[in-house]
Amino acid sequence: MKRALAWFTGCLLVLQCSGLDLAWLLSWPTLGLVLVSSLKLLEARQPADHRLVALLQLLAVGLLAAQMPGLLASLLQLFTALFALAALLAQELGGALRWRRLLLRSGQLIAAALPLAAVLFLFLPRIGPLWITDVGSGQVATTGLSPELDPLGIAELVRRDAPAARVRFSGALPVEPYWRVLVHDRFDGRRWLRSAVARSRPPFTPAVVSATTQWWSLEPARSRSVPWDGASLPASADLQIQPDGELMLWQPLSQPRTVRLQLSSEPLPWQQQPPTARDLQFPPRGQLSRLEALAAQWAALPRDVDRLAAAEAWFRSQPFRYSLAPGDLREAGLDGFLFDQQVGFCGHYASEFTALMRAAGVPARVVSGYQGGLSVQPLGGSPYLEIRQSDAHAWSEIWLAGEGWRQVDPTT
């Protein structure tokens, strides 16, 4: 009985491990625990062996809960803990109870722990995970948005599944949409920052009735800029589109809020807003010598659109590789990443591509926001997209005369 319960628990653990993101620091210890508990179960003969297997499985459940917080995953973790406790009870009671009574007793033990769990949840201070910390000369960071984009200083990026927003549509859900939030137009040779200019409050133009409506449920955030598709009009006066394409609230978002946007049938003014001197800002010549030499070849082309096409073709020809753990590249700099390392995440590629465009004389800037989202179909309700911090993304925007600002995603 106890061996059968333990093996069933192991199967549930393996099922959940198939959904792990191996870029997470905790993924490998979790896989190791599941493997060790299975091997231990193969040779378990003594009561102490079965106790150890059950404890290892319960520890694996805890690690899975730290990485997979969704509803379905939580239910699987609950059932796994239920069977692991039942196996432990079968060992301690020596077969005195049948398996149904064992599961019932396990459920009672879990229910008895709920009041203590509720007290700890309500009153224990929220402490950041211990595995999110500095590592050597580089830094382990979590996915999300920041006014300062410095990918070269991030040795490893850990996915964080905290919710950012939810959005419902009056029509069909979009496929792999981009949700812009922050515009980074200041460049110091390594970092991209937002301009410290005063944000304007243009006269409010009510959104006209459109075939497509979006209802955004926003989570509290430090930034007053909120996600949007860049092509819709807000329906409330305290939500305004800035000249650089940021959608801003005029009061900090201190509590959850729902806003409504209407798809515009015409291009919005920000898309045709001419570039400023900041969109060509570049460090002193010679600081990025190899990058500048490559961009100089494209600067000789007659049109900006030709320079853009040449840069895109060059990026496609290189053996770039996506990784959330590229290592610390502060010493290597942009030149080292572009020509030597060539391994990184979206922030690296958006930074490099935008710098190349500026060096070639094409106005460009970096935009950070979110890409995609999880499609959710609730029972008895309309589908919506759930956007999480793990969906954070960065891309480039290039100014082309006669067209306006064009989105370019060098990561793809």
Token output for 72:
């379905």
The pairing of strands 247-249 and 192-193 is unpaired
User: Is 250 within 8 Å of 201 (Cβ atoms)?
Assistant: yes
Nearest to 58 by CA among 25, 12, 97: 12
346 in catalytic set: yes
348 in catalytic set: no
93 DSSP β-pair partners: none
Distance CA 312, CA 104 (A): 61
Distance CA 274, CA 9 (A): 61
Q: What share of the chain is helix, strand, coil (3-state, %, to 5)?
A: 40, 20, 40
CA atoms within 13 A on the CB side of 153: 8
Sign of CA dihedral 9, 14, 20, 23: positive
Choose the catalytic residue: 185, 244, 346, 348.
346
Nearest to 273 by CA among 223, 230, 213, 229: 230
17 in catalytic set: no
Q: How far apart are the first and last CA of the chain?
A: 52
Catalytic residues: 346, 393, 409
